[in-house]
């Protein structure tokens, strides 16, 4: 994976969609970097991290050529973690978003992980 010329060996490349982690309240923090992969011809996405239906982190619209964006999110007490890649209207084939060097630190046992990709994700801030 490559974001604005910087190569990363560890991460997840994702089209628009949703990745869900069942943390069971056992996590402390989630840290990493996000950005658009250099192989994308055009387009933009927004990265959103939610915990138990509460927005914990969101980026501005990210395009190819933008610098990677670091995040460091407090997960204390969070039962479900949602990683969302929101396409901003350029089509699913242009939404090649990278979550790189990301890791979760835990207080106790590691949770089970579930992953689903949605063909059309509509994200609305809760509240």
Q: Is 38 helix (H, G, I), strand (E, B) or coil?
A: coil
Total count of residues recorded for the chain? 127
Buried b or exposed e, range 60-87, using 16+ CB within 10 angstroms: eebbbeeebeebebebeebebbbbbbbb
pLDDT of residue 81: 96
Threshold 0.95, pTM exceeds: no
For 117, phi then psi, to 5°, come to -115, 130
Contact predicate 98/34, CB 8 Å: yes
pLDDT of residue 108: 61
Mean pLDDT, 10 residues at a time, the chain of 127 residues: 92 84 92 93 90 96 94 96 86 78 80 46 38
Q: Which two tokens stand for residue 13?
A: 């490349």
For 65, phi then psi, to 5°, come to 95, -15
pLDDT of residue 35: 95
Question: Rounded to the nearest 10 degrees, how much is the dihedral formed by the CA atoms of 77, 117, 45, 40?
Answer: 130
pLDDT of residue 121: 39
pLDDT of residue 89: 72
């Amino acid at each position: 994976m490559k974001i604005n010329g910087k190569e990363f060996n560890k991460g997840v490349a994702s089209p628009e969609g949703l990745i869900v982690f069942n943390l069971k309240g056992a996590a402390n923090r989630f840290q990493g970097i996000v950005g658009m992969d250099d192989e994308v011809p055009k387009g933009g996405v927004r990265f959103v991290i939610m915990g138990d239906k509460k927005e914990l982190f969101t980026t501005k619209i990210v395009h190819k050529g933008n610098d990677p964006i670091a995040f460091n999110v407090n997960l204390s007490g969070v039962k479900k973690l949602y990683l969302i890649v929101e396409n901003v209207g350029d089509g699913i084939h242009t939404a090649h978003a990278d979550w790189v060097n990301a890791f979760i630190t835990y207080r106790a046992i590691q949770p089970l992980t579930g992953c689903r990709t949605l063909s059309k994700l509509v994200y609305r801030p809760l509240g």
